[in-house]
Amino acid sequence: MGKIRKTVLGIALAVCVLGSSVSSCYAATSSIEVGVTATSAWGNFRYEEAGHHLKVTVYYSEKDSQGNTRIDEVSAHQFGNFISVYVSRPSPGGWQYMNGYARGFVDDVLEALSAVMHA
Amino acid sequence: MRGKARMRKGIHFTGGRKLLCVLTAGIFLLSACGKTEEQDTEGTAALVQSDKGEADFAYPYVAESEKGYYFWERMNQDLWYPRLMFMDKESGRVVPLCSRPDCIHEGMECNAYFREVGNNGGGVHKYYLQYYEGNLYAVGFSEDAYVSLFRIRADGSAEWEISAKLYRTDYAATGEWKTPEILIHDGYVYFVDWYQKVKKLERMPIDGGTSEVLFQGNSNASAVDIYRIKGNGGSLFFQVNSYYNDTPENAGVAAYQYDPADGQCSLVMEGFHGTFSVREGFVYYSSPEGLCRYSIQDQTTELLVEQPMNVPTITLTRDYIILCAQWEDGGKLTLYDYEGNEIATVPNTLRVGWYFGGNSDMLFGECWTETPSLVFLDLNRPVGEMQWEELKENSR
């Protein structure tokens, strides 16, 4: 009898732990994209749960006609399921985008990171 | 902005073996930082990067002290919280700059993690870094919307504060971050605001105050860029690219010298193509004819290497003139002696895309492969054995 009671308690405990673990592990799916050409760079971030503050940041490297290189970034943020950001050229100094990658944030916490894309 | 920002994501605990390794690294770092601090209070480690003419960084993304090098890690899929790292010159060991004995050096709780630039709050931009009089200096964004210079204690305590507010931006509204060109030299921070189209060189006391304009680009130009602020022989040198009629083909490239003693900027030379570097009274630059050396005193030019060059970055070390083109052949180095004889080429085995420069012992760069990473090259190796190596925790 004692054994059965222990088993039931064990199962109940397992269900409880499993249940709480399932809820705490639950995460909305997200996706992030980045695109880079010589004259533009963009990033899209999607998060499949409503009611969050989303931010997407594109980090890009660029090169001028004299071989100088820089890294800068552009970001956008809003409440919703989707956020995108876009920057474009030309510039007088002949600056061209070389490559870039994007980060997606949900409520200021990093959620997604893209691979590096080349122009 | 004293103290560390605490954010939501927690620390991820790993296996005991890794923990042991990390603790060992922490103990090592504690001793290394102690020595660095001791060195600093003697005032001997202060001006290595800018004043002694030893280091020649085209991009000041690695800070050098007498004991080692400091740098920001690069974020990748395996590293979401890049840290401030220290590489010991003597042992070559690389560890996070964290002196917390119980820290596993992961996540935002580690002292080596610093909040990044974000348009909803202050933080640092994890590229520029300079060591000066015992502290590290980074550039970032303050909560009251200024591009600022941040002072970070180099002892792994994570203490940081705003050293100087350089200029105000609308970054918080636009989300567009442009890193300033910047150099600390002899108690001042010299900087260029890259939000401006026709740029100017300014300076401000390192502890803040009023800025003064030292050089202003030609207002008739459609754009003026100012780069490569370098300290050498007590003076500052910088490169000015002026663009007319909105086309890069109509660019005028010139090198200027600022003498802090008399407060004057003077034209050193103009009409070259690409980049330049200065050492012991000579300007080295590339031209359609090849690699040239210009004597500032005699105002004469000699052609050192007769071979057309594709705007390479030039690093001048004790033994070598080092050329490296960014991106196209990035990472493939060609070493010459000061007579113009080619000594060696170092292949780009790690796909280095962005070359920073370095000093007589070490060069640095960055790979933008699928995951960005930092690399270094040990110039003290025999010429035939030099190679790029990945710069990461305990990489040697």
Q: Do A69 and B59 touch (CB under 8 A)?
A: yes
Instruction: Please identify, among B152, B178, B204, the residue that sits at the C-terminal boundary of a domain.
Output: B178
Same domain, residue pair B202 and B266: yes
Is residue B297 in a domain?
Answer: no
- What share of residues in chain A are helix, strand, coil (percent, to 5)? 20, 50, 30
Are residue B239 and residue B106 in the same domain, yes or no? Answer: no
The answer to the question of residue B300 being in a domain is: no
Residue B20 has pLDDT above 60, yes or no: no
Residue-level pLDDT at B148: 96
The pLDDT of residue B329 is: 61
Question: Which residues pair with residue B69 across a beta bridge?
Answer: B64, B87
The verdict on a CB contact (< 8 Å) between A92 and B246 is yes
User: How many residue pairs from chains A and B have C-beta atoms closer than 8 A?
Assistant: 115
Task: Mark whether B16 and B110 lie in a shared domain.
Answer: yes
Residue where a domain terminates, one of B119, B151, B178: B178
Looking at per-residue confidence, does B308 or A86 come out higher?
Answer: A86
Residue B216's H or E segment, with its range, is: strand B212-216
Q: Which residues of A touch B247 (CB under 8 A)?
A: 92, 94
Among the ranges given (A40-44, B163-167, B285-289, B358-362), the one the predictor scored with the smallest mean pLDDT: B285-289
Give the pLDDT score at B120. 66
d(CA B77, CA A103): 11
Residue B304 lies in a domain: no
Domain stop point among B178, B197, B231: B178
Q: Which domain holds residue B342?
A: 311-396
Give how many domains chain B has, as a whole number. 3
Specify if B301 maps to a domain.
Answer: no
Contact A64, A45 (CB under 8 A): no
The CATH fold of domain A29-118:
Immunoglobulin-like (2.60.40)
Average pLDDT of chain A to the nearest whole number: 81
- Distances B144 to B76, B123, B162, B269, B332 between C-alpha atoms, Å: 30, 11, 11, 40, 43
Chain centre distance of CA B300: 30
The lowest-confidence range among A15-19, B112-116, B259-263, B337-341 is A15-19
Torsion sign over Cα A38, A39, A40, A41:
positive
Smallest Cβ distance to A76: which of B117, B175, B177? Answer: B175
Statement to judge: residues B278 and B163 lie in one domain? no
Mean pLDDT of A26-51: 91
Distance CA A23, CA A13 (A): 15
Do B15 and B163 lie in a common domain? yes
In this structure, the number of other CB atoms found within 10 A of the CB of residue B114 comes to 24
What pLDDT, on the 0 to 100 scale, is given for residue A17?
42
**Residues B221, B150 share a domain:** no
Task: Note whether A92 contacts B9, CB cutoff 8 Å.
Answer: no
* Same-domain check for residues B160 and B193: no
pLDDT at B100 exceeding the cut of 70: yes
Interchain proximity B179–A118, CB inside 8 Å: no
In a domain, B115, yes or no: yes
Interface with B, mutate which of A52, A59, A73 (most B CBs under 10 A)? A73
In percent, the amount of chain B with pLDDT more than 90 equals 62
User: Is there a domain that residue B99 lies in?
Assistant: yes
